[in-house]
Amino acid sequence: MNVGEKERETMDLVNMLEKGGPACETKTLGNYIWDDLPDPDKWADCVHCGMCLEACPTYQETGEEQHSPRGRVYLIKAVAEGKIDINDAFSKPVFDCLDCRACETACPADVQVGGLIEEARGQIRQAIPLKGLKGTVSKTVLNGIFPNKKRLNMLGGLMRFYQKSGMQTIARKTGVLNVMPSHMKDMEAILPEVGKPVLGRYPEEVPAEGKTKEKVGMLTGCVMDIMFSDVNEATIRVLNHNGFEVGLPKQQGCCGALHIHAGDRKTGKKLAKRNIEAFKDYDKVLVNAAGCGCALQEYDELFRNDPEMLPLAEEFSEKIEDVSKFLYDNDFKRPKSAINIKITYHDACHLAHGQGVRFEPRQLLQEIPGVEMVELPDADRCCGSAGIYNLTHPEMAGKLLDRKMDDIPENVEMISMGNPGCMLQIAMGVEKHGRSEKVVHTVQLLDWAYEKDKQKMKS
> Among residues 46 and 219, whose Cβ is nearest to other proteins?
46
Q: Which is nearer to other proteins, 311 or 377 (CB)?
A: 377
Min. distance of Cβ 328 from other proteins in angstroms? 19
Picking from 245, 162, 167, 172, the residue whose alpha carbon sits closest to that of residue 202 is 245
Residue 249 CB neighbour total at 10 angstroms: 20
CB of 109 to other proteins, least distance (A): 3
Work out how close the CB of 262 gets to other proteins at its nearest, in angstroms, rounded to a whole number: 21
Residue 255, CA distances (Å) to 69, 142, 321 in order:
25, 12, 14
CB of 83 to other proteins, least distance (A): 7
Nearer to other proteins, 97 or 296 (CB): 97
Under 8 Å between Cβ of 253 and 275: yes
Toward other proteins, which CB reaches closer, 65 or 372?
65
Nearer to other proteins, 271 or 349 (CB): 349
Distances, alpha carbon 49 to alpha carbons 76, 99, 105, 206, in Å: 17, 20, 14, 50
C-beta closer to other proteins: residue 89 or 180: 89
* 153 to 149, 156, 220: CA distances (angstroms): 6, 5, 13
Q: How far apart are CA 350 and CA 291, in angstroms?
A: 5
Distance CA 141, CA 101 (A): 25
Whole-angstrom distance, CA of residue 116 vs CA of residue 428 = 31
Alpha-carbon radius of gyration of the chain = 23
Looking at residue 344, the DSSP 8-state letter turns out to be E
**Residues pairing with 205 in the sheet:** 247
Tell me the pairing of strands 244-247 and 205-206: antiparallel
Q: Which is nearer to other proteins, 93 or 147 (CB)?
A: 93
> In the bound complex, what is the minimum distance in angstroms from residue 57's beta carbon to other proteins?
14
Residue 64 CB, nearest approach to other proteins (Å): 7
Report the alpha-carbon distance of residue 129 to residue 263 in Å, rounded: 10
DSSP 8-state code for residue 201: T
* Shortest CB 379 distance to other proteins, Å: 15
Query: Contact residues for other proteins (CB under 8 A)?
Result: 44-55, 63-66, 68, 70-71, 74-75, 78, 83-84, 87, 89-90, 93, 106-111
CA–CA distance from 103 to each of 54, 257, 290, 356, 401 (Å)?
A: 9, 19, 17, 13, 19
- Identity of the residue, 53 or 391, whose beta carbon is nearer to other proteins in the bound complex: 53
Least CB distance from residue 93 to other proteins, whole Å?
A: 8
